[in-house]
């Protein structure tokens, strides 16, 4: 009697009946929301690994987040009081499709406009707070955005409060023409009055901060912080290269490039921002 059975010469397989019937077997699908691709290092990241702060574990890039998400990880729980709601643009140019675009943005974000404004405490420090949301028409600056930020500074001046403003924007809102550009001067004047009162203004530049926002109030803070690898600039890279006819550095307009050239004071991960904001506000007098 043999000790071992002889193996078959060929591997036995189960016939695939779908080949005979012509019916294709469906491949399992991976949900789009399960993974995220880092815009900086291009790594695919499991969403749960990003955490609530949404920071790339490979390169520390701070993903774009909504105003409400930022609010949740920045202010003391239950301390935020939203102000200046219900303002709506008069659509001065009657721009085709603009009202539909606004309605879609409101539905998508749950915001009435591209900036969230109000009062809050951060690690116990009371501040006037503004958070721009790039999910709302790329946080473009129109008349309502300008009005809300201006009112925030005016309130902060009257109540002797520091202002903390998270910037993000694609620039002026083209659907409102020259009225959107006027907001640069309008907000800057309010910033100046706040400064003349001896009050502290802190800006945190997030990805992306560009155009008229960069050219005005985003760069007017007493201290300017940027998140890692945030895009910060005025004109686009290609526009500049075509104008000066030079190849720009790979990290041009990135937060690290700005820090190297003295345009920002420091770069901080958003998980460390609440502690830093509270420290800076306290050092500059806090609430009067």
Binding site per annotation, positions: 38, 41, 56, 59
Distances (CA, A) of 258 to 47, 102, 117, 228: 30, 33, 27, 11
Check: CB of residue 269 under 8 Å from CB of residue 228.
yes
Q: Which residues are annotated as a binding site for Zn(2+)?
A: 38, 41, 56, 59
- Give the chain's end-to-end CA distance (angstroms, integer): 99
Q: Which residues contact 76 (CB under 8 A, 6 or more apart)?
A: 120, 121, 122, 123, 124
Distance between CA 35 and CA 262 in Å, rounded?
36
Distance CA 76, CA 278 (A): 11
């Amino acid at each position: 009697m043999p000790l071992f059975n002889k193996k078959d010469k060929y591997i036995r397989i189960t016939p695939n009946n779908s080949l005979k019937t012509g019916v294709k077997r469906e491949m399992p699908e991976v949900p789009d929301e399960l993974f995220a691709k880092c815009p900086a290092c291009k790594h695919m990241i499991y969403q749960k690994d990003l955490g609530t702060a949404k920071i790339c574990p490979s390169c520390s890039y701070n993903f774009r987040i909504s105003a409400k998400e930022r609010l949740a990880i920045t202010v003391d729980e239950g301390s935020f009081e939203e102000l200046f709601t219900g303002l709506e643009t008069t659509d001065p140019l009657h721009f085709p499709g603009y009202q539909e675009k606004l309605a879609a943005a409101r539905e998508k974000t749950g915001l009435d406009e591209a900036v969230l404004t109000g009062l809050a405490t951060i690690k116990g420090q009371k501040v006037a707070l503004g958070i721009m949301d790039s999910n709302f028409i790329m946080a473009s600056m129109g008349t309502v955005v300008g009005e809300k930020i201006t009112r925030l500074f005016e309130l902060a001046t009257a109540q002797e409060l520091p202002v903390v403003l998270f910037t993000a924007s694609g620039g002026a809102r083209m659907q409102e023409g020259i009225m959107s550009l006027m907001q640069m001067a309008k907000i800057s004047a309010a910033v100046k009055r706040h400064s003349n009162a001896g009050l502290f203004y802190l800006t945190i530049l997030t990805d992306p901060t560009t155009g008229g926002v960069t050219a005005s109030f985003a760069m007017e803070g007493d201290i300017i912080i940027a998140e890692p690898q945030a895009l910060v600039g005025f004109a686009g890279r290609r526009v500049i290269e075509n104008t000066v006819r030079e190849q720009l550095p790979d990290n041009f307009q990135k937060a690290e490039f700005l820090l190297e050239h003295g345009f920002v004071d420091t770069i901080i991960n958003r998980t460390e921002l609440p502690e830093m904001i509270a420290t800076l506000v306290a050092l500059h007098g806090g609430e009067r």
